[in-house]
């Protein structure tokens, strides 16, 4: 594949020979309609080989950078130097001196029950938080204040009042300093609620629109508490004199306080980047582990200290089986993209991690779940992992942000390439993310775009880890401004300046659509999402109409027509995504009072938390979990 792309790039070389030129001329026969009859305005077709086309320099960059494999570059990560000796003999307890830490960015210590922050360092601050004008760092957009208008509903017993600004308490002083360095001036709605809820020790299921700051929603309160109180005291083999023989072999085990599970490597890497920012100068050292990458270097890294662990489930299971990680010090379990983490693909691995290892039980830890979508059946299943939780919804569950202008175009399959080229030729600035349904299609389409002289690259589950990292890096830094992706890039990725998301193939599930288009219009910025629709997508038409109407978007007539055409009414009607806390819809049985706290209308409701059975079987295969390919989306979902 790499060779093929290389060849194609060579074909685009400025010094191509005549035969290549002719060959390319034949292949580059397309001229977008709006540019036809305009002289010199489009060099993609019939162009001379003088190098005048606008994309060649980008390709050369792409080519030249093929050795740059740091996905983390430009986001503060990947620049850390792990050059001090490993820390061993981790012991919990407030009277223990933690540190010095082996990374240059978290130089604090936890001494005698108190955090002593490390010194400030301009260079590291630039590395972690970027310069104000640096476009590779997300800055909040013109519509950021509009988040305040979104109705918020928090249901459950004794919901704490929201905060209105970043203050100490409930947030820790050092955390506040780091929030300021990140240039966050006020909390987003999900953060306003999650901070006091988590500070009160409550479990939480939080549903908020894409790009509205859920990562901070779980990092700020969990880090604040940990900065203040230090790690949970646990007995380790090193503590037990009788056990000195065992300790020789187990001293390399690490005992994180916070475990964050997310479905893809890219997403856990991004969470790790965010954690590094907010852990700056603290006693806590964040780590990341994911499949598809050398496990021994990840083991070496976590052995240097691992207080916050962002992990894909498959790789974590592997480390647990190897005895490299203990979960007995866990205070916070976070499931990011929780509905994805609890769907059929991941549920057995999550159960194994949570129920079949040494993690404290549900009453002895705080469990937090975040997503933009929460289907009702997943809400029911999630109860197994939660205790007396608060359900928080910012806007309607599963709704899309009004910062995203959604356009649905009727395009027959055969015309998709042609229409896509029209759109891409007309677009000027910003990054474009194109979603297709299969890995093969991702390659085919990105190759096609490259041949049409568009600076494209692709990401999907069949590409190697370094290829995936490189593709994202090229996209993030605008060296390849078009990324063709499968659903592997649908969730969570926060890439600044993605101005356009194109659903070349619509997904079959409306929640996937919500996550995909949410790669644009983030942090109060605006964006456009275009979808190619035809009768093959009729299964999604009703949900699409609902989504568009809710977000005050235009609903084209053809959608209404297709919806009327011979569609059997859905049983129960509408989307599978719950519109709110499912307990409110099932509040007839009794079992404890709970109520809601709504910022939009002061709504109050009393009910109970019903019991129910998970739709999925517990347990799973007898095969070791690490061998089941968990955490590797490609092995779970061959179309990714
Ligand atoms: N309080 C804040 N002020 C300004 N920007 C913020 C704030 N909180 C978060 N952001 C920024 O908003 C962007 C989106 O945040 P984040 O990635 O946490 O969104 P999300 O809700 O998790 O989205 P998704 O559902 O797609 O995962 C990030 O670039 C983040 O740095």
Nearest CA to ligand 1 atom 8: 213
Judge whether residue 21 has pLDDT over 50. Answer: no
Which residues are within 8 A (CB) of 155 and not within 5 positions of it... i.e. 6 or more apart?
390, 391, 580, 581, 583, 584, 594, 595, 596, 597, 605
DSSP string computed for 156-180:
ESSPPPPPSS--TTTS-HHHHHHHH
Our mutation pick for probing the ligand 1 site, out of 260, 398, 517, 523, counting the most ligand atoms within 8 A of Cβ, is 523
pLDDT interval class at 246 (50, 70, 90): very low
Give residue 71's pLDDT: 28
Judge whether residue 56 has pLDDT over 60. Answer: no
- Measured in angstroms, how far is the CA atom of residue 524 from the centroid of ligand 1? 9
Average pLDDT of the chain, as a whole number: 77
- Measured in angstroms, how far is the CA atom of residue 243 from the centroid of ligand 1? 46
pTM: 0.78
Q: Which atom of ligand 1 is nearest to the CA of 270?
A: 17
Coil/strand/helix, residue 366: strand
- Measured in angstroms, how far is the CA atom of residue 475 from the centroid of ligand 1? 19
Global ipTM: 0.99
- Measured in angstroms, how far is the CA atom of residue 137 from the centroid of ligand 1? 11
Q: Which atom of ligand 1 is nearest to the CA of 186?
A: 1
- Measured in angstroms, how far is the CA atom of residue 345 from the centroid of ligand 1? 26
CATH superfamily of 404-566: P-loop containing nucleotide triphosphate hydrolases (3.40.50.300)
Which residues are within 8 A (CB) of 177 and not within 5 positions of it... i.e. 6 or more apart?
281
The pocket around ligand 1, CB under 6 angstroms, is made up of 138, 140, 184, 187-188, 191, 208, 210-216, 372, 492, 494, 518, 522-523
Give dist(CA 447, CA 223) in Å, integer: 44
Look at 488 and 34; give whichever has higher pLDDT: 488
Judge whether residue 509 has pLDDT over 70. Answer: yes
Give residue 277's pLDDT: 96
pLDDT interval class at 584 (50, 70, 90): confident
How many residues comprise the chain?
Answer: 640
The CATH 3.40.50.300 portion of the chain extends over: 102-231+253-395, 404-566
Q: How far is CA 146 from CA 140, 192, 462, 524, in A?
A: 11, 14, 40, 8
Q: Which atom of ligand 1 is nearest to the CA of 191?
A: 1
Mean pLDDT of 535-557: 94
CATH class of 102-231+253-395: alpha beta
DSSP 118: P
Q: Identify whether the C-beta of residue 222 lies closer than 8 Å to the C-beta of residue 198.
A: yes
Lowest mean pLDDT among 26-40, 302-316, 478-492, 565-579: 26-40
Coil/strand/helix, residue 458: strand
* β strands within 118-222, DSSP E: 152-156, 204-208
- Strands 390-394, 366-371: pairing kind: unpaired
Nearest CA to ligand 1 atom 12: 523
């Amino acid at each position: 594949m790499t060779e093929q792309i290389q060849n194609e790039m060579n074909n685009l070389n400025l010094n191509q020979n005549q035969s290549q030129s002719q060959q390319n001329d034949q292949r580059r026969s397309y001229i977008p309609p709006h540019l036809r009859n305009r002289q010199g305005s489009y060099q993609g077709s019939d162009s001379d080989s003088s190098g005048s086309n606008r994309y060649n320099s980008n390709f050369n960059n792409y080519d030249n950078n093929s050795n740059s494999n740091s996905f983390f570059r430009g986001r503060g990560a990947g620049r850390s130097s792990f050059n001090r000796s490993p820390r061993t003999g981790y012991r919990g307890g407030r009277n223990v001196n933690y540190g010095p830490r082996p990374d240059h960015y978290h130089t604090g210590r936890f001494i005698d029950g108190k955090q002593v922050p490390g010194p400030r360092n301009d260079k590291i601050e630039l590395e972690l938080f970027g310069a104000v004008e640096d476009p590779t760092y997300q800055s909040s957009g013109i519509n950021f204040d509009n988040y305040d208008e979104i109705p918020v509903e928090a249901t459950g017993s004794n919901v704490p009042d929201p905060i209105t600004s970043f203050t100490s308490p409930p947030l820790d002083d050092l955390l506040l300093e780091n929030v300021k360095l990140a240039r966050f001036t006020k909390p987003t709605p999900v953060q306003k609620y999650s901070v006091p809820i988590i500070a009160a020790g409550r479990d939480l299921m939080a549903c908020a629109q894409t790009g509205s700051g859920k990562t901070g929603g779980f990092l700020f309160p969990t880090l604040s508490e940990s900065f203040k109180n230090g790690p949970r005291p646990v007995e380790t083999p090193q503590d037990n004199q009788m056990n000195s023989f065992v300790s020789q072999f187990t001293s390399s085990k690490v005992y994180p306080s916070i475990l964050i599970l997310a479905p893809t490597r890219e997403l856990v890497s991004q969470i790790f980047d965010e954690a590094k920012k907010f852990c700056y100068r603290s006693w806590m050292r964040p780590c990341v582990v994911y499949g598809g990458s050398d496990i021994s270097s990840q083991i070496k890294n976590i052995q240097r200290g691992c207080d916050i662990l962002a992990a894909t489930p498959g790789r974590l299971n592997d480390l647990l089986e190897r005895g490299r990680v203990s979960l007995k010090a866990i205070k916070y379990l976070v499931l990011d993209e929780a509905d994805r983490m609890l769907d059929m693909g991941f549920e057995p691995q999550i159960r194994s991690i949570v129920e079949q290892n040494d993690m404290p039980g549900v009453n002895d830890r705080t469990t937090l779940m975040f997503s933009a979508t929460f289907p009702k059946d997943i809400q029911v299943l999630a109860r197994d992992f939660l205790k007396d939780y608060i359900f928080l919804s910012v806007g309607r569950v599963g709704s899309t942000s009004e910062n995203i202008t959604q356009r649905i175009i009727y395009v027959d399959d055969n015309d998709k390439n042609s229409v896509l080229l029209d759109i891409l030729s007309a677009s000027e600035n910003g990054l474009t993310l194109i979603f297709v349904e299969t890995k093969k299609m991702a390659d085919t389409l990105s190759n096609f775009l490259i041949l049409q002289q568009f600076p494209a690259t692709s990401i999907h589950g069949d590409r190697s880890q370094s290829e995936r990292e490189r593709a994202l890096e090229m996209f993030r830094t605008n060296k390849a401004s078009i990324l063709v992706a499968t659903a592997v890039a649908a969730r969570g990725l926060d890439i600044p300046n993605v101005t356009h998301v194109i659903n070349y193939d619509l997904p079959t599930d409306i929640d996937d659509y919500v996550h995909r288009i949410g790669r644009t219009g983030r942090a109060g910025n605006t964006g456009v999402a275009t979808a190619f629709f035809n009768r093959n997508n009729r299964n999604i038409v009703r949900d699409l109409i609902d989504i568009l109407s809710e977000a005050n978007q235009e609903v084209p007539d053809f959608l209404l027509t297709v919806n009327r055409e011979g569609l059997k009414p859905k049983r129960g009607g509408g989307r599978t995504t719950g519109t709110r806390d499912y307990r409110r819809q099932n509040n007839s049985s009794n079992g404890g009072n709970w109520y809601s706290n709504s910022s939009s209308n002061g709504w109050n409701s009393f009910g109970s938390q019903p019991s129910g059975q998970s739709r999925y079987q517990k347990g799973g295969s007898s095969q070791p979990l690490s061998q089941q390919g968990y955490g590797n989306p490609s092995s779970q979902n061959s179309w990714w």
